Structure formats: structure tokens, C-alpha cells
Amino acid sequence: MFLTISTTGNQERPATDLGFLLHKHPDKAQTFSTSHGTAHVLYPEASVERCTAALLLEVDPVALVRRGKGKGRGGSPDSALAQYVNDRPYAASSLLAVALSTVFKTALQGVCSARPERAAAPLPLRVEVPALPARGGAELVAKLFAPLGWTTVSAQPVPLDEQFPQWGDSRYVQLVLEGELRLADALRQLYVLLPVLDDSKHYWVAPDEVDKLLRAGEGWLAEHPEQKLITSRYLARRWSLTRQAMERLELVRLAEADDLEVEEIDNAVDETTDTDERPVPLAVQRRDAILRALDAAGASRVLDLGCGQGQLVQALLKNVKFTEIVGVDVSMRALTIASRRLKIDRLGERQAERVKLMQGSLTYTDKRLTGYDAAVLSEVVEHLDLPRLPALEYAVFGSARPRTVLVTTPNVEYNVRWESLPAGHVRHGDHRFEWTRAEFRAWAERVAARHGYGVEFVPVGPDDPEVGPPTQMAVFTRTTQDKPGDGRDKQGRRDGRSEQTTPQDEKEAKAA
Amino acid sequence: MSTAPRTLPVTDLSLVVLVGATGSGKSTFARRHFKPTEVVSSDFCRGLVADDENDQSASRDAFDVLHYIAGKRLEAGRLTVVDATNVQPESRKQLVQLARKYDVLPIAIVLDLPEEVCAERNAVRPDRAGMPRHVIQRHRRELRRSLRSLEREGFRKVHVLRSVEEVDAAEVVLERRYNDLTHLTGPFDIIGDIHGCRSELETLLGKLGYVDGSHPEGRTAVFVGDLVDRGPDSPGVLRRVMGMVASGDALCVPGNHENKLGRYLKGRNVQHTHGLAETVEQLEKEDDSFKEQVRDFIDGLVSHYVLDGGNLVVCHAGLPEKYHGRTSGRVRSHALYGDTTGETDEFGLPVRYPWAEDYRGRAAVVYGHTPVPNTSWINNTICLDTGAVFGGKMTALRWPERELVDVPAEKVWYEPAKPLTTEAPGGHDGRPLDLADVHGRRVVETRQMGRVAVREENAAAALEVMSRFAVDPRLLTYLPPTMSPTGTSHVEGYLEHPAEAFATYRADGVGRVVCEEKHMGSRAVALVCRDADVARERFGADGPTGVVHTRTGRPFFDDGTTTELILGRLRTAVTEAGLWEELRTDWLLLDAELMPWSLKASGLLRHQYAAVGAAARAVFPGAVAALEGAAARGVDVQGLLATQRERARDAAAFTDAYRRYCWPTEGLEGVRLAPFQLLAVEGRSLAGVPHDEQLAWLDRLVEHDPTALLQTTRRLIVNTGDPESVRAGIDWWLEMTSRGGEGMVVKPVQALVRDGKNRLVQPGIKVRGREYLRIIYGPEYTRPEQLEKLRNRFLGHKRSLALREYALGLEALDRLAEGEPLWRIHEAVFAVLALESEPVDPRL
């Protein structure tokens, strides 16, 4: 991890004053111990005309991981493999920012008793960060630094691997900043913006970080056009990302077993399903349509199959007609978020009795799901590979067999109406398919006929005369007259109920 | 006055209700005749909920507890004795209901002792000394009133003891249930529905080896019922079967047709439908004594039998596990008629609940009743009614061989109400898998390692991946286990070195090991079927001719076309090599490595490995130049400069390491598949076949691949006891890894091996190359100070995990080979995936 700060000067204002301002003598190489490694400060050049200070941080990646939790069982089982082979020793991350603030603590505060006038005045500065991880790319780098008074902001992307040009650029840029700034301002900007650009997930930030941000941002952050992004990225890491990482370790391990990144399989929780461009977002229209259909069916005990983060469950809870609401999802993370959203552990006893969240999977039959009035599968079927759809059909229509089943799914014909959606693209990365109206009808009618249901179709959202509505909904109603107790409930049997079985036939009973 | 000993028969699985006034000696009686754990007393339960055994105000809660405990015991199939006064009809009614709920017999033992005796006994008990006399009087009044109605209340046996002497002389004798024939081990020949087809029955018996109703090797025939009606000679069939049962050559359970015939013979008014008319007509020609014998025979039939140590249940219409060995009206009803849903189909026949799909029992259930064109096992159940009377065939099952024997019908004796094309239940639409098969904390029984536990959070993660990303579970018959690396090396500059692997096997008593080149790609398991028909018939998957999946069960390729291309090439190689015939199979399961690594792991490569290299390449030139500048100015940075130069070299070596495993592909162009084990074929797990034989098969596959897809696995046999040979093995590894090879896997040649203490030996130990390990431990791991820290690694958990997953994988293959139900295979496969999410150092 490495950065350089240079300035130029003349006899009156020698460049070597940089040494005074940084409180580090240009003719010495100094070494400092920081919390994550060893920082070195040295000057590759130091003349009256030109002086460059270099900060080099040596991080021990093994120690970086080992200082984390997880004893026994071969080191750190709670760490993902990514933490062992990572860019931390090379890229300018929050670790470098921490080192910067430790090593140049006084300079950061703008204090210099030897050259107070130089510390207070802007000087010609050139900052180079050769490997800066920049999520958002060169464009964001420019947006972040340009408003701060730099005349040159250059961010040259670093290619991933010259031997594999098809892989494109890495997330690193070579950053060069030039301009007349007070040194303290420049350092404070770097202190905040390096980690903001890195947006790393691997680093725990202490809880007093808000104060640190306010102090370091004094004088420039409040006016910055990207203030919101800077603040949220800087602070978001603190609670959300580290917590997420803890919550999905089992999935991390399964992803690693398959050489995948965890995001590729832990993508059940995502709000950006629809390309919403309407005043009433489609998600809301969909919920309303579902509530109307449930109402029309007179359902009071309802399953939300694939409940995700619990938005529909929340809407159902508001209506006392729904006496029992069960949210089922296969993603434990979605359920955790749903549980938080619904504040389940703080609900009153009566309210809490109405709602239940549980992990389940629609590719397996599930006895817990039998005997309900209605089941909702809202934007669920398209997340399943087509060959596995029959298993879902049987689990829902053959095994659970609620009186009413609502299925909503995108209408692919409508995609041409989304301006932001490139042609031929599905609306969500995890959609395994999207159906036309005819395809959906054919599927629904086949399923209905096979399992003894009738089916009607309801458009959701504006019904375009040419391409139909954005969302299509099928309302299935059971037609076969199952006997009381649902016919599937073998417990409900009575002894000797028909002429087939008379107690007198009971040979075993005659034991006495 | 002395009383002769009196035996009180008690069925071995029943609810025994003691009835008697306070002080009548119920607890003493229970102690004398039953095990302490079999007795649940109301006094004890009162104490549990109220800290006072005599607190009558706690009675309601105490009885809740009592009923709960008794219910749990009965559910588990344990004799249970209720020690409470039970003098009131209401309290007994609840107990009779409890017995019915769990399908066991309620039995009453009444202690009807004189008031004086009860009073005296209470008087000497400090806690009851103050009990008013009228309590005893009231109890006795109620008891007396109850005595005559006990049988009417539903007690199937009532024993009344009227004096102290009778009580003292009583002896409880446990009786086997009629359906409990677990002590009979056969072997059996279980014969499906006959329906008066005498001639076919004789042919079948002959084919099974019976000579005039008796088997020379002492086998026992078991008839699943429906001997009569519809067919040409029901009396003849009855005569044959009754004769065999009488001589001990056969067992027989009743079918619904026998039940109806029995009622007819008893003079009941029954409709002569469904073929009864034919039987009645045929019986007209018989004399009355034969009809009487038939009536008694049918009357004596037991609705189902539990045989062969509990491994086999035979009944007419199938039976869920909770009814096995139970006795009640509904058990008999299910055994005779099955479970109907209450609906009728378009032919007016009752719709039957597919109980077999839910069946998860250990015992095989063999039954008939529903005619099917062909028999097939589903969830360890099989229906033997193949519609002989409708012109189908008559089928028998040899047990324990599980062999089917059948003879065709001589003609259509009776026109079926609906065509014989009904599907056997299950198998289609991936239906029989239930969440309860995989969800929550589970224990999987394995042949090789006993019980393997899966924790709830690991099952939850596996459920997510399995449900959202895995291939059709019917095609997902195996997941490969994780593999442990070799013990940590202390050879300078090395973290892993073959010497440790050889030493480990030597210590385990393994002499010959095979070193196999480790291909650096992605693990791929391929199920190759001869054609789509085989995939459909054997695995129930409609469309594909097999599957290629990753080590977490995901499809290897996003599109089915590429998968079929690979399968097609593999199929050609198998056909050309003649392996279908040699292994007598229509499908085979292969474990392999698919290359290049970049094919599947490109996301990971780009975002992690290449990124690290890029960052390093960006940072070092500037840093080294800065240090050189400072050094030129006379600043003392020589040490730091040298370190940075070394770190730059390490980073370059890291980049070289991953680059070796990346190359561009286009379609299948550039793709390589290196098979290293044949896992299973029809009827046989090959996991125990020695690796030299395995490799010979695989070499033939590679030879017969006309394309460049298949790649051979280089190997070397090493004798762990011979220093020369070990030396050669080490040199081989050094040579291979110095040229960028990932390393090798050392396996016992004998494949499935146990050590001196009969524990499973690791099926393989990986020894990874020095350069390759940079990808795992980081670019700079070879620096002495880092290596020293890394050597302090702990392999115990990884080794244990590898063995548990190995045992589960073997179990899945055994279950697959033996044709076990899908849920049983899936259970083991799912468990492997779940264990993969256990916390273990990911670098191992």
C-alpha cells in the first residue's frame, strides 16, 4: 500500500518545508507501528524545487485474518477464503487511511509550529495513489475529488491481466491529483475518500466513526455535491455489511466449495426486481391486486409462499380479516430481514399469533402447508429453473392444496415498455425465465386441469392494448370437492365408519 | 384359604388400565407385574405438577401430563400401564380414546377388594391416614356400577380380581400380537392378487419351486389376499391356499374380497358385485363343510403381518408405518381397503390416497389391491397386483432376494372396469420428496460410518442452494466429499510435501498407494445414460440423457445444449470402449475434473485472483522506484527495498500461478474433461473398486474418445514401505509441480480401506504444489516468517469432515445401486451439501 505526496518550491518557499508540515524529516526513513502493520515514511526526492514524501504500509495478511475471531479448528473458520488472498497488502484501502491519520496525525490537524504560515496556506500539491480500489470507477473518482479544488484529477484504470484482455479493467485506478490546496485539507480528504472509494466489506469500523467523519470532513464535506454517497458509504460499512457477512457464512462456504462468489448464490434479497418508473410502483399495485383477490376469495388463513422480505405479510397483517398469515421462504436471510421488518419479537401476543415465518422450499412437499384457505406465489415461479417447476406444481396444487392459489409473474411482452431495460433482458438477474401471456395461460390451464382447479387471469398494472400488463396474475380456485378434513387428513378417520369395517370383523380384537 | 394361580393375558403392545378404589393396591400390583418405566401413575403426575401427590386440585393438570406421557409411549409402540383409580366412566373413556388414537388394545385389570382392606391399607400410609372413609365407599360404589359395562366401553380384555388372595395369585402373561411374526425369517415368496386364477397360481408356484404346495428348501409362501372373485376357480385357489396355510407352508392376509365373501358365508346381506357372483356360483358346487372351512379360514385371517425381524410388512392394500404391528379397526380397514380420499374417478372407482409417496418406514411394505401394469418399488413399498384376472400377469416377490417372478395370464378372465394403464404411484414430477426428509437437524444412517449428524443451520443453507440452484434431484445422485490435505510439512520452503502423505498411509497400514495427477479445473460429476429413454425409465427425468453438475449440485453449463454435447461425447467413448456391455449397465456415474478453471470460476478469477495481481502490479513499480530514489539520496532503506523487491517477485509468481489454469474456450473447443473414478452403474456401486482397475477403465474411455475432450490422468503407484518407491513418488511430484501442476492426490490402491482399529481410512490425501498454494495462502506465503505461522494449522476437523462426507457419498451410491427410493438417496446427497457449509479452515 503506497501513496506519495509531492510539492514544488523555490528558495523563499522551499519544497522541503513539506518535511516540517508532515513532521517527518526528509533525510530519514521512519517506521511506525500501526494497528494493522508497519508504516514507513521516506522521501525519494527532497530538494528546494521539489520534494516528495512516500507512505508505504506493509500489512501482514495472515495476521490480518488471525487477529479476527475464531480459535481452534485450523485458524479462522469464520473467515471466508477471500480474506486470505486479497488485495489488502497492495491496494490503498481504509488501512492506508488509518495509517495516514496515525502517522500524519498533527499534519492532519493543520498544526505546524515551525512553519505555521505554510500550514495555513495552500501549496502546489501532487498526490499519487498507484493502486486505488475505486468502486464506481474513474467517473466517481472525478466526481469526488473535482469539487474539492484539484485542478487535475486523473484516474487511469488498471487492466486486470494483460494476458487476458477480455477480462477488461480491474476496479483499481492509478490516481493522480494536482492542485493548490492546504496540506491538511488534502490529507483529510484522502482519509475519508480512500475508504469511500474502496467501499470494502472486509474491514470493521469502530463505532466512533461518525465523529471521525465529522472532524475529517470539516470545511469540505458539508458542501460536497456527493455528500450523501460519501456519508452512506463511509458509515454503511459499519453495521450493515459486516453484519451481513456474519449472517451468511454457511452460504459463503457453499459458494467457495464451488468457486463462486457468495453474491452469485446469496441473491434472494433484492429490492430491484422491477424497473419501476410509475407513480404507483408496480410492487404496490401487485400487492393491492393480491389483497383484492384474497378478499374476493374470502380467505382468512393465508400462505405467502416465497415471502421474501415480508412486504405482503406486512400488508396482510394490517387487515384483521386475515387471521393466520404464514410467510415461507427458502432464504434464511430474507426471513431474518422480514422478521426485523415485521418486528415480530415486539408484536403483542394476539398479533404475534396471527403471523408465522418459516423456512421452506417449494420444490419439496411440506405437510405444514396443508389446510390453508389461500396461497400466494407472488413473483416466485420465475425464480425456479423450468425443469423444477413440476415439483413446485405438485407441492402447491397437489400436496398443500389450498382452496385458492394466486400466482403472479412478469409479462415478458411488456418488457419493451421499460425504457431502462435493454432489449432481450429479463427484469432481474435471477429470473430463470419470463413468460408471455400465452405461455403463462397455457401453463396455468394445464396445472389447473391436472390438479382439479379452475383458473382466471387478472392483469396487474396498466393493461397495454398491444403488449398487455407488466404483471400477470392467475387466480386458481379448487373445484374438486374434497371431503371435510380435506380428504388428505388421514388422522380424521373414525373407527368402523362404514359397513366395510365392523368391529366384529376385528380379529385381532378378539384376543381375549 | 389358598387360590390357584391365575394367569392374566396381556397383549404385549396395549394400554393396561388398572381400576380400583384408593387403597386397593394398584401401585403395588403394578410394581409386581410391570417394569417401573411402564407404569404411569396419577399420583406421580400430581406430584410433578403440584409438588404434592395428594393435591386433588391438581388432578386436571396431572391427568393431562399422564395422558401426554402415555400417548408418547404408545406412539413409540411401548406397553403402558395407567395406575389411577379409573373408577369413573369418564376417566376410562379418555383412556380408551387414547388407545384408539394409537391403535393399541385397551385392557382393564380391576382390583375389586373389600372396603376394609382398602381402609386398613390407607390407614398405615401417613399421607392418606386422614382420608375419610366415604371416599373409599364412593370409589367402590362407582367401581361396582362400572363392572358390567367395561367391555362395552371398549376394553378388549377385562380381568377382575375380587380378593386379596386372587390378587396375590395373579400372574400377568404377555402375549404376542397376532400380527407380530417378526421371529419368522422366511425366506418368503410373496404372491400378489389371484382372483380365482387357479391355473396361473399353479404355474407361478411351480416356477417358484413349490411341489404340491410345499417348497423343498423350506420357503414360505405369503399371499397378499384377494384370492377369490372374478376368476374361473376361486374354490380351487382357496383349497390350495388353505391347504398350504394349514400345513405351515404359507401365510395369508385377507383382501377386501375375502372379507366380503366371509360376510356372505355368515349369511349377511351383501351385493354380489365386483365378481362375488362368480365365486358364489362356483361355491354352489361345493359341499357345506367346505364352505364352513372357508368361512372359518377367512374368519381366522389376520389383517397384516410384520415379518423378518420387522423388515417386512405384508398386507392387502398397503399400510403406513404408524399402523405396523398395531391393532384397531382403522388399521384393519387400511390394510384391507387402503386409504381412499372420498372422491371417485371417472370410472366410478374410489380415488386412493397415495400413501406410498409419504411412506418413509424402514420396513418394506409388500401389498396388492390396485392393479398396475408393472410393479416398481416406491419408497420401499411394492404393489404385486399385476391384474392376472384382467389378462395381465401374476407376480411374486422373493424375499429377502427382492427378486420378481411372474407368469402371464392365460387369458382375460374378467373385463376390467378401467383400462390397466394406471401409473404406479410416485416417481413422476419429482413428487415423493418431502421437506421433512431434509429439513432441520438430521441424522443419516450410513453403512460405513454409522450415524452422521447434520446441524440445523447447515441444513438450512443447503436447502437454499439445493432448492434454488441444484439440478433435478432425480438426477442428483451423488455429491463428492471434500478432501483433506496432507499433514503439514517441515521441509524448508514447503507447506505441503508428499513425504507426509506417504507416511500417513504407511501408519494406517496402507502399503500400495496410487498418486494421481491433480487437474486444476472445476469438479464435475457426470451421469451418462445410454439415451433419453434410460434417463426417463431409470431416473424419471423426461428429456435429458443425463446431467453434468458441480460439487454443490449446480448444473455445470447454463444451457442444456452444451451439457448434451458433453454427454454425447462421453456416451460415444463409453460405447466404443464397450463399457455398457462389460459393466452390464445402461448408465454410469463419473467423477471428473473439468478444465479450464476459468470456464466456471471466471467471476472469482476476475474479482479476486486477477484483481490481487493487478493491484500488486500497479503498486510495486512506484514503491520500488521511491525506495531506490531515497536510497540514492543516502537514506537507509536497503532492507526495506530488498523486501519490496521480493514481494513484487512473489506477486508476479502468484499471477503466473493462476494464469496456468486459464485459457479461452469457445463452445466445447478448449474444454477438457479428466475422469478419475467410475462411481456407479446399474445395480452396483463401484466406489470400492481398486483404483488400478478404475484407471484401466478410464484409460479406455480416453482412448475411445474421438474428440479431444477427454484427458487422461497421469499416475504413479508407490509402495509406502519402500524408501526407493517413496523417493520416486516425491520426485514425480516435484517434477510435476515445478512445471506448474496443481499437485497430486494420493489414494490407497484398494480404494475403500479400514485401518487396524477398523476405522475408515481417508480415501485420498491431496498434496498441493508449492506454486499453486500461492492461490490459496496468498502470494507471499513462502516467506519464511509467514510459512512458520502457517505451519501451525490444524487438520483434525477437515479430516473428520472429509471422512463423514465420504461415508455419506458412499451411502448415496449404495442406495442408488440398490434401487432405494429417491428420498433415501437425496437424504444422503443433501447431507453432503449441508456438511460442506460446516465451519472449517477454507484453505485446507
Do B153 and B233 lie in one domain? The reply is no
Rounded Cα distance, A375 and A407, in Å: 9
Residues of chain A neighbouring B640 (CB-CB closer than 8 A): 29, 40, 42, 56
Higher pLDDT pick, A214 / B835: B835
Which CATH number goes with the domain that contains B721?
3.30.1490.70
Mean pLDDT score of chain B: 91
- Residues of chain B with pLDDT below 50 are 1, 421-430
CB contact under 8 A, B797 and A508: no
Which residues of A fall within a CB distance of 8 Å from B789? 62-63, 66
- Say which of B466, B522, B619 has its CB closest to residue A90: B619
Please answer yes or no on whether A130 and B320 come within 8 Å at the CB atom: no
CA A151 to chain centre: 36
| Residue from B179, B305, B324, B332 whose CB has the most chain A CBs within 10 Å, to mutate | B332
Best mutation target, B337, B435, B520, to test chain A (most A CBs within 10 A): B435
- C-alpha distances out from residue A276 to A283, A419, A470, Å: 8, 10, 10
A358-417 pLDDT tens trace: 999 999 999 899 999 999 999 999 999 888 898 899 899 988 999 999 999 999 998 888
Q: From the candidates A6, A254, A330, A450, which should be mutated to test the interface with B, based on the most B CB atoms within 10 A?
A: A254
Q: By CA distance, what is B268's nearest residue in A?
A: A499
Best of B104, B270, B433, B619 to disrupt the A interface (most A CBs within 10 Å) is B619
Pull the grid cell for residue A485. 378434513
B505 φ/ψ angles, rounded to the nearest 5 degrees = -65, -35
Say how far apart CA B6 and CA B442 lie, in whole Å.
Answer: 48
Instruction: Give CA–CA dist A137/A116, Å, rounded.
Output: 37
Q: Could you report the per-residue pLDDT of B182-214, keeping only the tens digit for each? A: 999 989 999 999 999 999 999 999 999 999 999
Q: What CATH number has the domain spanning A282-481?
A: 3.40.50.150
In chain A, which residues have their Cβ closer than 8 Å to the Cβ of B467?
330, 361-364
Three-state secondary-structure class, residue B192: coil
Is A258 close to B330, i.e. CB distance below 8 A?
A: no
Rounded to the nearest angstrom, the minimum Cα separation between A51 and chain B is: 11
Q: Does residue B36 have a cis peptide bond before it, meaning omega lies within 30 degrees of 0?
A: no
CA-nearest residue to A253 within chain B is: B837
CA distance B160 to chain A (A): 13
Name the more confident of B101 and A350: B101
Asked if residue B132 belongs to a domain, the reply is yes
- State which residue of chain A sits closest to B432, comparing Cα positions: A365
Give the number of other CB atoms < 10 A from CB of residue B793.
17
CA distance B207 to chain A (A): 33
The torsion of the CA quartet A139, A143, A148, A154, rounded to 10 degrees, works out to 10
Distance from CA of B659 to the nearest CA of A (A): 8
CB contact under 8 A, A159 and B614: yes
Query: Is position B667 within any domain?
Result: no
B464, B482, B622: residue with CB nearest A2: B622
Which residues of chain A does B602 touch, with a Cβ-Cβ cutoff of 8 Å? 167
Alpha-carbon distance B270 to B259, whole Å?
11
The CATH number of the domain where B330 resides is what?
Answer: 3.60.21.10
The verdict on a CB contact (< 8 Å) between A167 and B430 is no
User: Is the residue at B508 inside a domain?
Assistant: yes
In a shared domain, residues B57 and B143: yes
Q: How far apart are CA A459 and CA A410, in angstroms?
A: 11
Amino acid at A253: R
CA distance to partner chain B, nearest, from residue A324 (Å):
22
The answer on B705 and B719 residing in a single domain is: no
Domain total for chain B?
A: 6
Instruction: Give the three cell numbers for residue B706.
Output: 474421438
Run of H or E residues at B203: helix B198-208
Query: Does residue B409 sit within a domain?
Result: yes
pLDDT of residue A248: 61
For chain A, the average pLDDT equals 82
Instruction: Say if B430 falls within a structural domain.
Output: no
B175: phi then psi, degrees, rounded to nearest 5:
-115, 140
> A441: distance to nearest CA of chain B, Å?
20
Q: Which of B268, B303, B454, B467 to mutate to test the interface with A (most CBs of A within 10 A)?
A: B467
The radius of gyration computed from the CA coordinates of chain B, to the nearest angstrom, equals 36
Taking every pair of C-alpha atoms in chain A, what is the biggest distance, in angstroms?
121
B218 inside domain: yes
Task: Kindly determine whether residue A365 and residue B431, on different chains, have CB atoms separated by under 8 Å.
Answer: yes
Rg (CA), chain A: 31
Cell of B575: 460405447
On the CB side of B400, CA atoms within 13 Å amount to 11
Q: What is the pLDDT of residue B726?
A: 96
Give pLDDT tens digits for A478-488: 986 554 334 33
- Is domain A2-247 classified as CATH 3.30.1610.20? yes
- The CATH number for B146's domain is 3.40.50.300
Which of B771, B791, B811 lies at the terminal end of a domain, its last residue? B791
Is B464 within 8 Å of A265 when comparing Cβ atoms? yes
Q: Are B779 and B609 in contact (CB under 8 A)?
A: no
Which has the minimum average pLDDT: A152-156, A191-195, A439-443, A503-507?
A: A503-507
Instruction: Provide the residue type at B226 as one letter.
Output: D
Indicate if B155 and B62 belong to the same structural domain.
yes
pLDDT computed for residue A190 by the predictor: 93
Q: Is A162 exposed, middle or buried (0-12, 13-18, 19+ CB in 10 A)?
A: exposed
* Residues B332 and B315 sit within 8 Å (Cβ to Cβ): no
Which one is predicted more confidently, B622 or A61? Answer: B622
Question: Are residues B475 and B515 located together in one domain of the fold?
Answer: no
- Return left, alpha or beta for B766; rule: phi > 0 is left, psi -120 to 50 is alpha, else beta: beta
Phi, psi values for residue A367, rounded to 5°: -65, -25
Q: Are residues B729 and B768 in the same domain?
A: yes
A254 vs B655, B836, B844: nearest CB? B836
| CA–CA gap between residue B571 and residue B565 (Å, rounded) | 10
Q: CA angle at residue B738 from B737 to B739, to 5 degrees?
A: 85
Query: Can you read off the three cell numbers belonging to residue B536?
Result: 426417463
Please list every residue in chain A whose beta carbon sits closer than 8 Å to the beta carbon of residue B344. Answer: none
Q: Which residues of A touch B11 (CB under 8 A)?
A: 511
Smallest Cβ–Cβ distance between A163 and the set B256, B466, B659 belongs to B659
Give the integer Cα–Cα distance in Å for B224 and B369. Answer: 8
- Statement to judge: residues B105 and B50 lie in one domain: yes
pLDDT the model gives residue A506 = 39
Q: What is the pLDDT of residue B544?
A: 93
Contact B680, B589 (CB under 8 A): yes
Angle B316-B322-B324 from CA coordinates, rounded to 5°: 45
**d(CA B52, nearest CA chain A) in Å:** 32
Work out the minimum CA distance from B5 to partner chain A, whole angstroms. 18
In a domain, B431, yes or no: no
CB A477 within 8 A of CB B82: no
Residue B351 has what pLDDT? Answer: 65
**Do B708 and B727 belong together in one domain?**
no
- E runs forming strands in B143-289: 157-161, 170-175, 180-181, 188-191, 220-223, 250-252
Range(s) of the domain holding residue B813:
438-486+793-844
Q: Interior CA angle at B379 toward B374 and B383, to 5°?
A: 35
Same fold for the domain at A2-247 and the one at A282-481? no
Best residue in A263, A501, A502 for a mutation probing chain B (most B CBs within 10 Å): A501
Q: Are B821 and B762 part of one and the same domain?
A: no
Contact residues, chain B, for A52 at CB < 8 Å:
626, 629
Spans of all domains in chain A:
2-247, 282-481
Of the residues B366, B392, B422, the one at which a domain ends = B422
